[in-house]
Amino acid sequence: MSGLGTPRGPQFHSPDWASAPEPGRTPFPAHAAASRGRRLPAAALAALAVIGLSAGAGGAAGYMAGRDDDGGAEPATAAPPPVGGVPSDLVGAAARVLPGVVSVQVRTASGGGSGSGFVFDDRGHIVTNNHVVTAGSGAARGSITVVGTDGRRLNAEVVGTDPSNDIAVLRVDDAAALDRLALAGSGATRVGEPVLAVGSPLGLSGTVTAGIVSALDRPVRLGGSSRQTAVQTDASINPGNSGGPLVNARGEVIGVNTAIATLEGGGSIGIGFAVPIERARQVADSLIARG
């Protein structure tokens, strides 16, 4: 049985820049607790115990309508109120979120790469991943363009980066051209609740994938040598999703998508990680204040 591959951050090689790695990333950097190349026996793979990865389960309640035996229509049974006030309308959540999500395109002297981001405030600040906007050691930065779901392109500058949390903040001049996303409150995220991952996997801008929160406070390595806690989700996250938002059914950002676990040579296997919005907000506010 194939062992668990090296968990890594999703990266995307633009078709125009296919020969260059995503800025700030080696082809297969470790971004979780497993060491590179570790092979697991079948029992350990099933439990995913070596690197502390597990999946949760959950679902959404609906309603049913029936008919009497004589063909008369029964009144529709009212849907039970969502647990904790969480709605099940992910369609509405996607509609609210998409205008505030952008593709982040980076050009450097050695090539370029791309990822995703979202509008953080009304002053033109955009949150993404550090590894999306940095090149090589992180000392060199290229020109950055953000592209909205409506196709509008805006030049952006780097306000600041935090490699240990894999967070970066960009700024565009035309703040009115973008819609700020709502951020979830502290402690509001729960295991089993439905979520959407929004971004530009493989360059496909405005892509939405659905899943649940599989676990909270999952220790992973996001950028530096120390572990950070992350939100784990089974929503499909692939190369190019880096820096995009993980949102709940209310359309509130609960995390910043940043890493995935993969089998050898594979893509998403339903184990993705996001920087919790509480920490991402603190880091972004600090970078903006210093910038």
pLDDT at position 99, please?
95
pLDDT at position 39, please?
42
Active site residue 242: yes
Q: Which residues contact 198 (CB under 8 A, 6 or more apart)?
A: 94, 97, 98, 101, 116, 118, 206, 207, 208, 244, 245, 246, 247
Least confident of 43-47, 193-197, 248-252: 43-47
Would you say residue 45 has pLDDT above 70? no
Helix (H, G, I), strand (E, B) or coil at 186: coil
Mean pLDDT value across residues 63-70: 33
Mean pLDDT value across residues 74-81: 48
- Virtual CA dihedral for 169, 175, 181, 183, nearest 10 degrees? 50
How far from the centroid of its chain's Cα atoms is residue 56's Cα?
Answer: 18
Would you say residue 123 has pLDDT above 50? yes
Least confident of 62-71, 140-149, 151-160: 62-71
Would you say residue 62 has pLDDT above 50? no
Would you say residue 56 has pLDDT above 50? no
Give the pLDDT band of residue 149 (cuts 50, 70, 90). confident
Mean pLDDT value across residues 154-178: 92
Give the pLDDT band of residue 213 (cuts 50, 70, 90). very high
Tell me which residue of 168, 172, 179 sits closest to 157, measured CA to CA: 172
Instruction: Check if the beta carbon of residue 89 is closer than 8 Å to that of residue 249.
Output: yes
The alpha-carbon radius of gyration of the chain (Å, integer) is 20
Q: Which of 131, 200, 236, 268 is catalytic?
A: 131
Would you say residue 222 has pLDDT above 80? no
pLDDT at position 110, please?
74
Give the pLDDT band of residue 20 (cuts 50, 70, 90). very low
Give the pLDDT band of residue 127 (cuts 50, 70, 90). very high
Tell me which residue of 2, 12, 45 sits closest to 241, measured CA to CA: 12
Give the pLDDT confidence of 86-120 residue by residue, as tens digits. 556 899 999 999 999 999 999 877 777 899 999 99
Active site residue 54: no
Least confident of 46-55, 99-108, 246-255: 46-55
Mean pLDDT value across residues 144-170: 93
Burial zone of 84 (CB within 10 Å; 0-12 exposed, 13-18 middle, 19+ buried):
exposed
Task: Give percent of the chain with pLDDT exceeding 90.
Answer: 51
Tell me which residue of 105, 173, 181 sits closest to 143, measured CA to CA: 105
Q: Which residues of 101-127 are buried (b: 16+ CB within 10 A; e: fewer)?
A: bbbbbbbbeebbbbbbbbbbbeebbbb
Instruction: Check if the beta carbon of residue 158 is closer than 8 Å to that of residue 170.
Output: yes
DSSP states along 71-116: SPBPPPPPPPPPGGG----HHHHHHHHGGGEEEEEEEETTEEEEEE
Would you say residue 67 has pLDDT above 80? no
What is the rounded distance in angstroms from the CA atom of residue 37 to the CA atom of residue 52? Answer: 16
Active site residue 110: no
pLDDT at position 171, please?
95
The secondary element (H helix, E strand) that includes residue 147 is: strand 143-148
Mean pLDDT value across residues 61-69: 30
Give the pLDDT band of residue 135 (cuts 50, 70, 90). low
Burial zone of 100 (CB within 10 Å; 0-12 exposed, 13-18 middle, 19+ buried):
buried
Q: Which of 14, 166, 200, 234 is catalytic?
A: 166
- Cβ–Cβ contacts within 10 Å for residue 193, how many? 21
pTM of the complete model:
0.71
